[in-house]
Amino acid sequence: MKNSTVLLVDDNADLRKLVSKTLTCLGNWQVETAESGLAALQFLENHRPDLILMDVSMPQMDGVATINEINKRQQWRSIPIILITARVQIHEMNQYRHLPIAGVISKPFDPMKLPSQIQRLLEQWSPTGENLRVAISD
């Protein structure tokens, strides 16, 4: 999986920079970024990433809503999505339980372990599977 493309959706510019750096240096990923759910949807119209990393708390269209939009398009459903969020209290996690996602990575995370965490989640993922595995960052 050399030079796979990942779409990183996060409204926080610092985070976009840090995650890009991490994945580029440690994981041989090519990282594209979007600062909102809407920008992500626009990106998807013309591109097909191998993975989407999605923040949950974003203004206007949040991560959950964006995932629901993505899921409406048959051709986008096979793209694995991983939530990367600071909202990981139990009542918040329960909201993700029925989402068609490959997993959740909690913020804050250790950048040095991020690529392997992503790899592990991707290995367990299948487009039809609904099992949610949660990777804990430490």
CB 80 within 8 A of CB 52: yes
* Residues paired with residue 6 on neighbouring β-strands, in sequence order: 31, 51
Here the tokens at position 108 are 């804050």
Residues 6+ apart with CB under 8 A from 62: 37, 56
Q: Which is nearer to another protein, 71 or 137 (CB)?
A: 137
Stretch that binds another protein, among 19-27, 45-53, 67-75, 117-125 (CB under 8 A): 19-27
Smallest separation (angstroms) from another protein to the CB of 53: 13
Here the tokens at position 6 are 């990942």
CB 111 within 8 A of CB 25: no
d(CA 12, CA 29) in angstroms, rounded, equals: 20
- Counting contacts by CB under 8 A, is residue 123 touching another protein? no
Stretch that binds another protein, among 38-46, 75-83, 88-96, 123-131 (CB under 8 A): 88-96
- Counting contacts by CB under 8 A, is residue 8 touching another protein? no
Q: Which is nearer to another protein, 74 or 90 (CB)?
A: 90
> Given the rule CB under 8 A, which residues bind another protein?
12, 14-15, 18-19, 21-22, 25-26, 57, 86-87, 89-90, 92, 97, 107-112, 134, 136, 138
